[in-house]
Structure 1
Amino acid sequence: MTNVKKQAIKAVIFDLDGTLVDSEPNYFEAEKKLFAEYGINNFDFEMKKKYVGKSTKDTLTDYKKNYSIEESVETLTKKMNKYYLDIAKNNTVIFPEMRKFLELLKANNYRMALASGSSSEIIDEILFITGLKDFFDVTLSSESVRKGKPAPDVFLEAAKLLGIPPENCLVLEDSNYGVEAAKNASMYCIAIPYFTEKPLAQSFLMSDLLLKDGIKSFSAEKAFKWMRNIHKE
């Protein structure tokens, strides 16, 4: 958006995992169970970290190749989704300030979308479990587009379904891949890194607002004030 007049924000697009809900530990446990089926017992959280923000399909495609798993990606997805939902049904935590932000946006008639790398089955179930479904005008999985993050496809499709130009959309993201996708879509982006160890990935510096300390530094009221005034700067 350099050298271009800033546009008012008319819609907000949320990532799901690590942004709205603290789901990464649940995914890690599900992936460990999946790997155990194939005799792989050395998968640890450090290995998991580099896939945070990637779509389920892209992640499992890499796992299949790296660990020489013969099952199809489709079969692996079904198995992992089952493991994940068994865990998530009783262990999904919504970040409180994110719920407040959703409520603020809803009260002020902003259109909202959820655009996630998780499968549609996971998105629907998590929104049902958490009671967040009614906040969103559009929900979209990377399964529905050609390329997952960091490609902009899922965000551009969300904007299209919302009926809002990309330059009038704000994305909230916790991963470097998601930030890249948002900026590749020419959208505003608030980056809230899930992993805050320094140095942060360079991609985070592309964001319009970077909260280096992650979700603990996110304030619904401050974020709302910032987005209402960004086009006036």
Structure 2
Amino acid sequence: MLENKKAVIFDLDGTLVDSMWIWREIDIRFLGKYGLQVPEGLNDELEGYSFHETAVYFKKRFELPLTIEEIMETWNHMASEIYVNEIPLKDGVQDFISLLKERDMKLAIATSNSRKLAKDCLRANGILDAFDYICTSNEVPRGKPEPDVYLHAAKMIDTKPEHALVFEDIPYGLLAGKRAGMEVCAVKDSYSERAVKEKREIADYYIDTYYDILNGTYETLKK
């Protein structure tokens, strides 16, 4: 998997850390402050909404006594607290990163999350200094599944796409890596289990945990 590779670029949520549950939990805690419950199907209704659009939706639908800016500020504060205190690394991440650093490989993050939350999470888990660059979707014209965030991350760490290996947990992230001309490894995550067939069809490799790489038991997927 690492042969001829000079860099590894990781997605963050669901790939390096177990965090895909966080936004639903924030909805539960946030609405709970106002004696409200999360309606069935809320996430489906908000699919594709920006952070600001979601705040506008919440204010109107739940008649909240806050400004749009106050809603977003509250969510950011709640998310930071959870990322720092409740989000663990996936199994084997620490050891895998140590191996990569021993091989003098460059490391980057390519995430749709904010830089602040990414740094808060990585710092809390003791691995922030391992990364040469953190690239967010806000820095590029198009988000995943377009390749922009991965191409920009590779450029910022001075690595050609063919020399970079990508780790992702969901199909559109894997597609972004492939469209960038990189090999991609799919990472098991409970929140994308329903898409595991699609993940395997896109990816070059598949792991249950990062120990699979350390132990040489990862899957190479035939194309």
TM-score after normalising by structure 1: 0.75
What code does the residue aligned with 1:208 have? Answer: D
2:17 to 14, 21, 31: 21
CA shift in 2, pair 1:97/1:65, >3 Å? same
What code does the residue aligned with 2:171 have? Answer: N
**Deviation for aligned residue 1:92:** 1.8
Identity of paired residues, percent? 28
CA shift in 2, pair 1:51/1:66, >3 Å? closer
Question: For residues 131-146 of structure 1, what are the structure 2 equivalents within 5 Å?
Answer: 131-146=126-141
1:177 to 140, 153, 172: 172
Contact map agreement 1:176 1:201 (CA 8 A) in 2: no
**Deviation for aligned residue 1:20:** 1.1
Q: Deviations over 1:48-80 (max 9, x none)?
A: 59999x8xxx553664576674865x7654332
Question: Number of matched residues?
Answer: 213
1-side partners of 2:198 and 2:46: how far apart?
Answer: 16
Q: Which runs of 5+ in 1 are unaligned?
A: 1-6, 228-233
What code does the residue aligned with 1:221 have? Answer: L
**Deviation for aligned residue 1:104:** 0.3
Give the equivalent residue in structure 2 for 1:221.
214
What code does the residue aligned with 1:60 have? Answer: F
**Deviation for aligned residue 1:166:** 1.0
2-side partners of 1:205 and 1:170: how far apart?
Answer: 17
Aligned CA-pair RMSD = 3.5
Question: For residues 60-209 of structure 1, what are the structure 2 equivalents within 5 Å?
Answer: 60=51, 63=54, 69=60, 76-194=71-189, 195=191, 197-198=193-194, 200=196, 202-209=198-205
Contact map agreement 1:104 1:224 (CA 8 A) in 2: no
TM-score after normalising by structure 2: 0.78
2-side partners of 1:196 and 1:225: how far apart?
Answer: 18
2-side partners of 1:117 and 1:97: how far apart?
Answer: 23
3-state secondary structure, aligned to 2:196: coil
Give the equivalent residue in structure 1 for 2:64.
none
What code does the residue aligned with 1:145 have? Answer: V
Contact map agreement 1:113 1:162 (CA 8 A) in 2: yes
Determine whether 1:42 maps to 2:38. Answer: yes
1-side partners of 2:134 and 2:60: how far apart?
Answer: 31
1-side partners of 2:25 and 2:145: how far apart?
Answer: 25
Contact map agreement 1:192 1:218 (CA 8 A) in 2: no
CA shift in 2, pair 1:207/1:64, >3 Å? same
Give the equivalent residue in structure 2 for 1:8.
4
- Mean Cα displacement is larger for which, 62-71 or 179-188? 62-71
1-side partners of 2:154 and 2:148: how far apart?
Answer: 10
Give the equivalent residue in structure 1 for 2:206.
210
3-state secondary structure, aligned to 1:113: strand
CA shift in 2, pair 1:103/1:122, >3 Å? same
Q: Which runs of 5+ in 2 are unaligned?
A: 62-66
Contact map agreement 1:32 1:41 (CA 8 A) in 2: yes
2-side partners of 1:49 and 1:219: how far apart?
Answer: 33
**Deviation for aligned residue 1:90:** 1.9
Q: Deviations over 1:28-67 (max 9, x none)?
A: 21233345578862346x7659999x8xxx5536645766
3-state secondary structure, aligned to 2:17: coil
Contact map agreement 1:33 1:83 (CA 8 A) in 2: no
